[in-house]
Amino acid sequence: MIKTISKIGNSQGIIFDSALLQLARLKVGDEVNVEVHAGGTITIAPIQPLPPRDEVTSLIKETMKQYATTMSRLA
């Protein structure tokens, strides 16, 4: 897909149309990590927010319950 760098206010940018955002699974307001590599290649990757601590703790406890026998055999 070819995009053109456009003037946006006092800056320059690339407009992502809705189809491109949909393909990249991005939406307005999402944070992305932008990296510039040797040779000038630019990658834009979505930042995956970390799940809340209590949600992770809950999942670990549930997993431990489901696999209690296996876990005790491995211990």
pLDDT of res. 20: 92
Q: Is the pLDDT of residue 41 over 90?
A: yes
The average pLDDT across 1-5 equals: 91
Residues 6+ apart with CB under 8 A from 70: none
- pTM attached to this predicted model: 0.56
Residue type present at position 21: L
Residues 6+ apart with CB under 8 A from 30: 46, 47
Question: At 72, is the pLDDT very low, low, confident or very high (cuts 50, 70, 90)?
Answer: confident
Per domain, the residue ranges of the chain are 6-74
Q: What is the share, in percent, of the chain residues with pLDDT greater than 70?
A: 100
Interatomic CA distance for residues 72 and 10, integer angstroms? 62
Question: At 50, is the pLDDT very low, low, confident or very high (cuts 50, 70, 90)?
Answer: confident
Chain-centroid distance of CA 41 in Å reads 19
Which CATH number, 1.20.272, 2.40.50, 2.10.260, 3.30.70, labels domain 6-74? 2.10.260
